[in-house]
Each structure stands twice: as structure tokens, then as C-alpha cells.
């Protein structure tokens, strides 16, 4: 896999150097490497951190078109909406950790969620709210919510 990545980067960088400056290439390569590591992660919080890192690498790429005057406004909106989505996702992660004391996929998969959701107590509501906040924050990051224009 590492050999494939090196070959891909070598071919991609040769063609990109003629079209873009070095800062753009560095941002694209960094986001590509972070996305490759995202495949192997098994912790919810580390997935959150990698999504935020990819977003931070992609913010400057919005301003590549120097002729458009709306780029600065778009970056500001993207940054502030990303901050809201990050807060929502972090709050959902903290709610899940509060109820389950774990953030690992393996541990969450082995939990018996019927114990949480069969009872009508506060823990089932908190756990469900945490999952909803994570999903909503993730959709917000991907611009899949109807709140953005």
C-alpha cells in the first residue's frame, strides 16, 4: 500500500507542479495522507480529529480562484459552519463517552444497547442524543443538512 501511495504521489505531483503552486500541492497531499489514515482508525475521537484536519487543509484551497471576490466570504462561512459542526460532534462524542466509558468501535460494537434503550431512563436518552449529535455534526461537515445555502 505504501508503494502504491508513493507511485501515486510521484505521478500526481509531476502533473500538478505545472498547474499549481507548491502550497496547494502540499495541502492536497496532506489531506490525502490524512484520509488514508482515516481508513484505519478505530476510535471516534480520532476520526473527529482527522475530519477536522482535512477541513483545515481544504480551507485555503477555496481561495485558489483569484478572480472571484466571494472567496473570502465563502472561506469565512465554511470556517464558522465547520466550527459549529465540530462543537456539535464533540458534544455528541462526550455524551457517548459519558454513558459507555469508551470511544472504541470494538467496545461500542460489543455493548448491549438493548440494555440502554429498553429502559426509559436518562441514560438511554443521553446515548441517543449523543448519536444524533454526531450524525448531525457529520452531515453538517459534509453540507448535507438543509441549513446551508
Residue 85 CB: number of other CB atoms within 10 A?
A: 22
pTM of the model: 0.75
Q: What is the pLDDT of residues 51-63, one digit of tens each?
A: 888 888 888 877 7
Task: Note whether 103 and 43 are within 8 A (CB).
Answer: yes
Q: What is the pLDDT of residues 31-48, one digit of tens each?
A: 888 888 888 888 888 989
Q: Give the burial class of 95: count Cβ atoms within 10 A of its Cβ; 0-12 exposed, 13-18 middle, 19 or more buried.
A: buried
Amino acid at each position: 500500500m505504501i508503494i502504491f501511495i508513493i507511485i501515486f504521489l510521484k505521478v500526481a505531483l509531476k502533473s500538478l507542479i505545472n498547474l499549481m503552486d507548491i502550497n496547494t500541492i502540499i495541502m492536497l497531499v496532506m489531506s490525502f495522507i490524512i484520509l488514508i489514515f482515516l481508513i484505519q482508525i478505530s476510535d471516534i475521537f480520532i476520526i473527529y480529529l482527522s475530519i477536522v484536519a482535512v477541513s483545515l487543509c481544504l480551507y485555503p484551497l477555496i481561495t485558489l480562484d483569484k478572480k472571484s471576490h466571494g472567496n473570502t466570504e465563502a472561506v469565512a462561512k465554511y470556517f464558522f459552519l465547520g466550527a459549529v459542526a465540530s462543537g456539535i460532534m464533540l458534544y455528541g462524542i462526550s455524551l457517548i463517552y459519558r454513558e459507555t466509558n469508551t470511544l472504541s468501535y470494538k467496545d461500542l460494537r460489543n455493548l448491549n444497547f438493548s440494555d440502554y434503550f429498553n429502559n426509559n431512563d436518562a441514560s438511554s436518552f443521553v446515548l441517543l442524543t449523543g448519536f444524533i449529535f454526531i450524525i448531525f455534526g457529520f452531515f453538517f461537515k459534509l453540507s448535507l443538512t438543509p441549513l446551508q445555502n
